[in-house]
Amino acid sequence: MSGCSKACYLNRELSWLKFNGRVLEEAADETIPFCERLSFLSIFQSNLDEFFMVRVGSLHDMMFLKKEVRDNKTNLTARQQLDAILPEVKKMTVEKDRIYEELMAQLGEKGVQLLKFSSLDEKESSYLARYFEQEIKPLLSTIIVGRKQPFPFLNNKAIYAVAVLETKSDKGKIGIIPCNTGVFDRLIAIPGRPGCYMLAEELILHFLPDVFAKYKVVEKSLIRITRNADIDADSIYDEDLDYREHMEDVIRQRRKLCPVRMEMTRDLDSDIVNRLRGILELEKHQVYSSRSPLDMSFLFAIQDLLRGKSELFYQKRVPQYSAEISSERPMIDQVLEKDLLLSYPYENIKSFLRMLREAANDPSVVSIKMTLYRLASHSKVVEALVEAAENGKQVDVLVELKARFDEENNIAWSHYLEDAGCHVIYGLDGLKVHSKLCLITRKNEGHIEYITQIGTGNYNEKTSRLYTDLSLITADQAIGMEAANVFQALSLGETVEYTEHLMVAPKCLQNKVIDLINREIQCAKSGEEAYIGIKINSLTDKKIIDKLIEASQAGVKIEMVIRGICCLQSGIDGVTDNIRIISIVGRYLEHSRIYIFGKGERERIYIASADFMTRNTLRRVEVAAPIYDGHLKLRIKEMFGFMLSDNVKAREQQPDGSYKKVKGGDTPLNSQELFFEMAYKAAEGK
């Protein structure tokens, strides 16, 4: 590779912030139905919370441990990254507040209002005073920080009312009250004014003088702490503990990790803020002012109040049954005849669930093996596996207990599966098992027969209606044998060393991707048409990035659909000018991964669970499956082409690293809506 410099690379954290900025743009987009804009605003905030808990938390850990770890693409230290991140977050916070105020102004026109005390009449104020005294005040836990009462532990993301208290003889005490304990409703209705509400924390904040009646409330504010959640489960593993008990301990520890951010809704005296910072061990730049509510989850309750107004929501879309699958014949028989591909949310996951239930009751099925990463709270997948175990099948399930923020759910499911007679394993030391792999083994007339499912998304019925994912179901015996090798290795606590058909991280994915890129480079140098098409969620793997830059310089045409983080800068003359990168942020979360290498006879197409991030390619067990069926190849290429042609929800990366909405053509093309229209049309024509 030649001619490249730091200009070719973008910092991971700053790139992620740009992605979340694209989410915030959706909240501001007036072409989107009103209530859906509320969803995007809430998603923006929850995304940012997780960013602080994980990514900012990790950078603070590096600083605390005095690790001179630099970003391997931009060479920035942890401190330099934080110095770049935090001003961007503050700018986004101002924009978030502006959009919130705009949406709340429009909310009143829809028949719902969030009121402030200044807008209440005397009768309404009296009612709220009585309501507070009778319904809320008895349930409050009040703390006055002093010599006899230490500063309390503040829970992650919980809202607290803080008061600066004074008496004639005692100044500067701090009173603290938890506001969202779950024991009272967050939205409080105002009687006599239909559709009018007040947030519980604002009610509590208003009546702090009544709670601290013996004091003068000098200042008051709502605050919220975000704590570091970036805890390495493997580094603190105690071999004397059962692994499931260890993960339960990890969850408990995470709740107590150090704060990385404090948000405030009102200005407090700098001495008080400094005092709070000192107690919480926060620096000045870690304190944020917000003029909008500190927790936006109540917006979903507002949506529920407006459900009767369909024009405020997206047009209802229902996943269709695949036109390629007959409901009159067993799924297993159909898979034995040809490969099947399901595309969520446009097609229904129920076809896959039907196959699982058939396998659970098929006398010729001897075993079912699956990797489970994130599951629905009421999982039909687990029900089918339990049914199979109860029917005497060998059911082996790898439940990844390290699936971040889903650990408790997965621990509960692992107990349930074990109690039903399934054999459960919990993943590998130092590696997360992120693959979406299911293997059904049949014994048919003395012969072993495999049916393999490989997907890009979790076995989660809920997210299959919200995320775009692909699921290949095949009876190809060579693929089945390699899937069996993957499960055999996992059962031994190992990973596969060699594959011919599948790509399997950590040892057989990154190297295979690079080999395929090298092949295109050689073809371009020989004067042949060379092509790479990639759809992933994130691109951070420097080894792959450098190889893509080399391919661009060799003349390989590269088209990429990358929803989130992208550390590669396209459009640099003579270096990455053969690379086009777009991001699609729309109604559904783009989650599928597609790899396309070459044209014509040289063409290779895969779907995968892996993004091109080092954590995926080298630190997880991931599986990419080749698409061999000609019809399915054409279908995936068609989908990829429509995404590249999206001129409604696509934003194209510019040479300066910014993203601009794609403009072009007389006809709007929203790829997600088009895929649903195609699914409906195909289902009607069955």
Long-range contacts of 298-303 (CB under 8 A, 24+ apart): 298/186, 298/187, 298/199, 299/38, 299/39, 299/41, 299/42, 300/38, 300/39, 300/42, 301/186, 301/187, 302/35, 302/38, 302/107, 302/112, 302/187, 303/35, 303/38, 303/39
Q: Output the six-digit token pair for 92.
A: 């986004």
Q: Output the six-digit token pair for 98.
A: 């502006």
Q: CA triplet 15, 434, 603: central angle to 5 degrees?
A: 75
Q: Are strands 216-227 and 259-264 parallel, antiparallel or unpaired?
A: antiparallel
Residue pair 639/344 in contact by the 8 Å Cβ criterion: no
Q: Is residue 60 flagged as an active site residue? A: no
Burial grade of 618 (CB within 10 A; 0-12, 13-18, 19 or more): middle
Q: CA triplet 446, 449, 452: central angle to 5 degrees?
A: 165
In angstroms, how far is the first alpha carbon of the chain from the final one?
Answer: 51
Mind giving me the DSSP string for 29-64? Answer: -TTS-HHHHHHHHHHHHHHHHHHIIIIIHHHHHHHH
CA distances from 643 to 280, 469, 584, 629, 661 (A): 46, 14, 8, 21, 13
Sequence-ordered list of residues with C-beta below 8 angstroms from that of 672, at least 6 positions apart, any chain? 468, 584, 586, 587, 588, 649
* Nearest Cα to Cα of residue 132 among 198, 222, 195, 196: 198
* Gap between the Cα atoms of 318 and 46, Å rounded: 26
The residue type found at 605 is: I
Residue with tokens 């929850």: 46
Residue with tokens 């006055």: 144
Residues in the chain: 686
From the candidates 434, 447, 501, 631, which is the catalytic residue? 434
CB-CB neighbours of 235 under 10 Å: 7
Q: Output the six-digit token pair for 646.
A: 């999206």
Burial grade of 602 (CB within 10 A; 0-12, 13-18, 19 or more): middle
Please give the backbone phi and psi of residue 623, each rounded to the nearest 5 degrees, phi first. -130, 130
Mind giving me the DSSP string for 579-635? Answer: EEEEEE-SSSEE--EEEEE-SGGG-EEEEES--BSHHHHHSEEEEEEE---HHHHHH
Residue pair 486/437 in contact by the 8 Å Cβ criterion: yes
The residue type found at 674 is: L
* Gap between the Cα atoms of 203 and 117, Å rounded: 9
Q: Is 339 helix (H, G, I), strand (E, B) or coil?
A: coil
Map 501-543 to HEC letters. CCEEECCECHHHHHHHHHHHHHHHHCCCCCEEEEEECCECCHH
Residue with tokens 């049916």: 451
The residue type found at 618 is: L
Exposure on the CB side of residue 243, measured as CA atoms within 13 A:
19
Catalytic positions, please? 434
